[in-house]
Amino acid sequence: MLFRSWKKTAEDLIAFAPKSIDEFMHGKLTSATSTLRDVAGWFAGSWTSICDDPLWHASWMLDVQTKWLRAAEYMVRGQKDPRTKGVSQEVTA
């Protein structure tokens, strides 16, 4: 599900980029160009942070991966999440 969310975000940004670049090249400042600028700033900031402290980022990524693998193991085995013990598991539509 997380992959699908990231994939959809990437698809939207890719579809949005040509319009943003065209408007930027023609000097138009619209929401498209400001979005492009925001995304570029986010990427630049992310890479700056990774370069400034690669050990912290590697540790964080390993921690997230470990937790996802644990969660996947529970799901594959069909086990219930122990944190939900005592919580009603009924699904209402």
Domain count along the chain: 1
User: What was the pLDDT predicted at 8?
Assistant: 74
65 located within any domain? yes
44 located within any domain? yes
For range 25-48, the mean pLDDT: 77
86 located within any domain? no
User: What was the pLDDT predicted at 3?
Assistant: 63
Mean pLDDT across the chain: 78
For range 42-63, the mean pLDDT: 89
Residue 1: band (very low, low, confident or very high) from pLDDT cuts 50, 70, 90: very low
pTM for the predicted model, two decimal places: 0.46
46 located within any domain? yes
The boundaries of the domain holding residue 35 are 10-77
85 located within any domain? no
41 located within any domain? yes
Residue 21 makes CB contacts below 8 A (sequence gap 6+) with 36
39 located within any domain? yes
24 located within any domain? yes
